[in-house]
Structure formats: C-alpha cells, structure tokens
Amino acid sequence: MQLAPVYPLLYRVLHPLFPKCLWHGATEQKTIALTFDDGPHPQYTPKLLAVLDRYQIEASFFWLGVCVQRNPELANEVFQRGHGIGLHGYTHQSFPRLSTDELKQSLLNTQNAIADACQIDGHLIRDVRPPNGLFMPRQLRQLDQWGYRVVMWTVVPEDWVCPGISVVEERTLAQVNSGAIIVLHDGYYGGKDVAAITANLIPQLLDQGYQFVSVNEFWQQRQLTKPRN
C-alpha cells in the first residue's frame, strides 16, 4: 500500500503537535526548499548535482554516516558547491528503535564522518531529519538538549518506492505551496530517478514564481518571525 495520499494529512495533524520541528518556511513568501535524503550515492548524487548546477539551485542534503564514509570525496564535492548538509543517522534506523546512547552515537558518528570528508567541524552540522520521519516526544526533547534542530517536511511524494518519474512529479506539483519543504531521495531507494525528477520539477516551479532556498534560510525566517516577549 502506497502512503503518498496520507502524508499531506499527517502533516496537518503532526505540525501543530510538534511545533519545535521545522515543517515549512514562511507561508507568505513564495519560497520552497528542495531536500534529499539517504545519500551520498556514487551514481545518483553526481547526476543530481549536475541538474542543481544547471539551474544554480541550492538544496539541502540529509546524509547517512555510512554513505559519507563510503563516498568522502563526493560528500566533499556536495559541501564545496554550497549545499546545506544535515544528519539522517549513521544507518537508516528509525530513531524510536534506538536507545538514548545509540541515538547519540549514531548522530555523533555521522558528524565525524562529515567532518573527515569535508574538513569541517562536524558539530556545526545541527540539522537532523529522522529516518522515515519517525520519532517519539522523548527523542525530540533529547535532540533539543543536545543542540540539534529537527527538520521535517511538507511534500512527500514517496519517490523511494519508484512509482515512476511522472507520478512523483504530479504528486509534488499537487502538494507544493509557499514555504514547502520537498523531500526526495538520492540514495539506494528512489535515487535512480532523482535527477530526472528534479530536472522536470525545477523549471515548472520556477515558472510558477517559486524561489529555491536552503533549509537554513527557513530557520532564519522562523527566527525573524518569532514573537518577542
């Protein structure tokens, strides 16, 4: 059973319940964020980078630590091109299945892999997207205590089940709106179509007047609109 029709409903339910997570950017501005999970992948990510370069689009990548360790030069290439980097765990294990120590170590190992590959301070990588979008309230509190920021989503076209390029494109265009965070995948699942999907989506969204921004810019928008005491 495909869950793509359910995700917009989940978004509407979960967003108000967990307001500390970043679910979207400013809805009064016609900006959207392209995000990619599960990479970097040695075949799929370079093709995706070529598409982003062609349109000069800044995206945000949420990496698995094990994939960074396998492809350090590619990880560094993504970083050097100015794309945003976040954590997706060391392997694709749902956070609720991990103990507190296992979760902390998974994120630390991923930060260390990024630090080694990109020659940066891994602790500067603070954005986390839970695999499968799953978490428990206790884990949100822990992530906040450890200094991480949880990034979720607005548009989830379920590309990882490979329903076809046109299907993912149609689902995305039907759900997108101002401030949307779009989730696609450049890893083992879904990655074979990601460059073609992205190449089809970007010009259509640009024609609709959208501007592509990083997840970090959405955090900055949120800080500016935060009510003052």
User: Which residues are part of the catalytic machinery?
Assistant: 37, 185
Look at strands 181-185 and 31-37 and give their pairing: parallel
Helix (H) or strand (E) run with residue 84 in it: strand 84-87
Provide DSSP, 111-176: HHHHHHHHTS-GGG--EE--GGG---HHHHHHHHHTT-EEB--SB---GGG---HHHHHHHHHHH-
Q: Contact 34/9 with Cβ under 8 angstroms?
A: no
Residue located via tokens 């494109």: 169
Distance CA 157, CA 49 (A): 20
CA distance 34 to 40: 15
Tell me how far apart the alpha carbons of residues 134 and 224 are, in angstroms, rounded to a whole number. 28
Q: How far apart are CA 37 and CA 103, in angstroms?
A: 18
